[in-house]
């Protein structure tokens, strides 16, 4: 049985003061939670130290929203894997659609970042998903295949033993337009089928999150789907109440599965 995960992507949001309050509320709110689910927070880089101070020795893990290749060097503005590890990160987001679209990260760079993350002991959360135009042109499976195969080609299928996948349809991110549980399930099943062609065991055990306007009131329906193992949550993770409610939905599903 796969473990459920709820991850909060705080993007370029928060101040020192409200990140402190939000992390503290998450710490208090998850105190009584069991280890049946994984909870991960992705704050901005400048807030990592604060997060480490507050969330150390709790059930909540944290990670970086991005990384660059190598350990250090003349790459102004970039952050490396070892720097993230230094601040207690266990995870890193790779290939988020905002990185692909706004910052023009291509398939090759994303695959290299995925491989780099693993080399430094970080668990990459590989984000994949189609735009609205691609969905309307029935290109969803083609896009997902390209995004996955480019990483498998460089890093090898075995690397996925230590990775998480997040299916995030671009048209659902920050728009309030959530994929229906059935729409999301269809793509999650496709992702698992594609991985199974390379390695059935990895396909079966890998955690595949759904992301795109996950909220407290739609999480239960999404998390009930057989191939949806939790959520990567943006907007609703910026408020402790809604984030904790989403975690509780995942916990209920985890409890119901034993």
Residues that are catalytic: 96, 168
Q: Report the residue number whose CB is nearest to ligand PGA.
A: 234
Tell which one of 80, 150, 213, 218 touches ligand PGA (CB under 6 A).
213
- Which of the stretches 31-39, 153-161, 190-198, 205-213 binds ligand PGA when contact is defined by CB under 6 A? 205-213
Strand-strand pairing, 230-233 and 4-9: parallel
Pick from 14, 29, 81, 212 the residue near ligand PGA by CB under 6 A.
212
Total residues in contact with ligand PGA, by rule CB under 6 A: 13
Nearer to ligand PGA, 33 or 42 (CB): 42
Cα distance between residue 55 and residue 88, in whole Å? 10
Q: Which residue, 73 or 223, has its beta carbon nearer to ligand PGA?
A: 223
E runs forming strands in the chain: 4-9, 37-42, 60-64, 91-94, 123-128, 164-167, 207-211, 230-233
The smaller minimum CB distance to ligand PGA, of residues 9 and 140, is found at 9
19 binds ligand PGA (CB under 6 A): no
Closest CA to 86 of 125, 124, 39, 48: 48
| CA-wise closest residue to 39 among 6, 64, 88 | 6
Which residues does 138 contact at the CB level (< 8 Å), separation at least 6?
none
- The position carrying tokens 């905002």 is 98
**What is the nearest approach in angstroms of ligand PGA to the Cβ of residue 60?**
17
Minimal distance in Å, beta carbon 156 to ligand PGA? 26
Site for ligand PGA in 163-192 (CB under 6 A): 168, 173-174
214 forms part of the interface with ligand PGA (CB under 6 A)? yes
CB count in 10 Å sphere of residue 207? 19
Rounded-to-integer distance, Cα 135 and Cα 240, Å = 33
Contact between 81 and ligand PGA by CB under 6 A: the answer reads: no
**How does DSSP classify residue 101?**
H
Nearer to ligand PGA, 46 or 177 (CB): 177
Segment interacting with ligand PGA (CB under 6 A) among 17-25, 31-39, 140-148, 227-235: 227-235
Q: Give the number of other Cβ atoms within 10 Å of residue 77's Cβ.
A: 5
First to last CA, the chain: 9
Which of residues 60, 67, 233, 247 is near ligand PGA by CB under 6 A? 233
Site residues, ligand PGA (CB under 6 A): 9, 168, 173-174, 211-214, 232-236
């Amino acid at each position: 049985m796969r473990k459920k995960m709820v991850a909060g992507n705080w993007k370029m949001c928060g101040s020192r003061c409200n990140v402190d309050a939000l992390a503290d509320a998450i710490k208090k709110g998850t105190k009584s939670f069991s280890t049946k689910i994984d909870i991960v927070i992705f704050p901005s880089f400048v807030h990592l130290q604060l997060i480490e101070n507050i969330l150390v020795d709790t059930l909540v893990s944290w990670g970086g929203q991005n990384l660059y290749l190598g350990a250090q060097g003349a790459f102004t503005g970039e952050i490396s894997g070892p720097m993230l590890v230094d601040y207690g990160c266990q995870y890193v987001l790779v290939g988020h659609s905002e990185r692909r679209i706004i910052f023009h990260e291509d398939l090759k760079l994303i695959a290299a970042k995925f491989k780099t993350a693993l080399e430094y002991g970080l668990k990459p959360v590989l984000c994949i998903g189609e735009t609205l135009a691609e969905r309307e042109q029935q290109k969803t499976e083609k896009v997902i295949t390209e995004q996955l195969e480019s990483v498998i080609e460089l890093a090898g299928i075995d690397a996925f033993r230590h990775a998480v996948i997040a299916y995030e349809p671009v048209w659902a991110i920050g728009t309030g337009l959530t994929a229906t549980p059935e729409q999301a399930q269809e793509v999650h099943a496709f992702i698992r089928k594609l991985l199974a062609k390379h390695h059935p065991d990895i396909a079966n055990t890998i955690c595949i999150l759904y992301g795109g306007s996950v909220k407290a009131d739609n999480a239960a329906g999404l998390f009930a789907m057989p191939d949806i193992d939790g959520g990567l949550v943006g907007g609703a993770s910026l408020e402790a109440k809604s984030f904790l409610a989403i975690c509780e939905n995942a916990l209920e599903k985890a409890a119901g599965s034993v």
